[in-house]
Amino acid sequence: MAHVITDACTKDALCVDSCPADAIHPTKTEAAYAAATQLYINPAECMDCGACIAECPSDAIFTADDVPADKAAATEKNAEYFK
C-alpha cells in the first residue's frame, strides 16, 4: 500500500480529481459515497505518485510509512474497504 487516507478526511474529493490512476474511492458518482465517512485509496490501483497528498486540504493523506501513530488504524481500515 503506497498511500493511506486517515479519518481526518472531509470528503471534499479534491484528491479524487488529482489522482491520475483513479485509485481513490468512493467517488461522488458511486453509490457508496453518501454513506462513506471518508475516502480510501485502492492499493492495487495507486501509482504512488503523491499527487493526492498535495491536494488534501485536511492533511489526511500520508505515505504508508508516514502514517502517524495515532492514525495507524487507518492503514487497516483502508485495506479492508477494498476486500
Q: What is the pLDDT along the chain (83 residues), one digit of tens a residue?
A: 789 999 999 999 999 999 999 999 999 999 999 999 999 999 999 999 999 999 999 999 999 999 999 999 999 999 999 99
CATH topology of domain 3-81: Alpha-Beta Plaits (3.30.70)
User: What is the structure's pLDDT at 39?
Assistant: 98
Give residue for cell 491536494: 55
d(CA 8, CA 60) in angstroms, rounded, equals 5
How far is C-alpha 70 from the geometric centre of its chain's CA atoms? Answer: 17
Ordered by start, the domain boundaries in the chain are 3-81
What cell numbers appear for 4 in the block?
Answer: 493511506
State the Cα angle at 75 between 70 and 78, rounded to 5°: 130
3-state secondary structure (DSSP) of residue 29: coil
Q: What is the pTM of this model?
A: 0.92
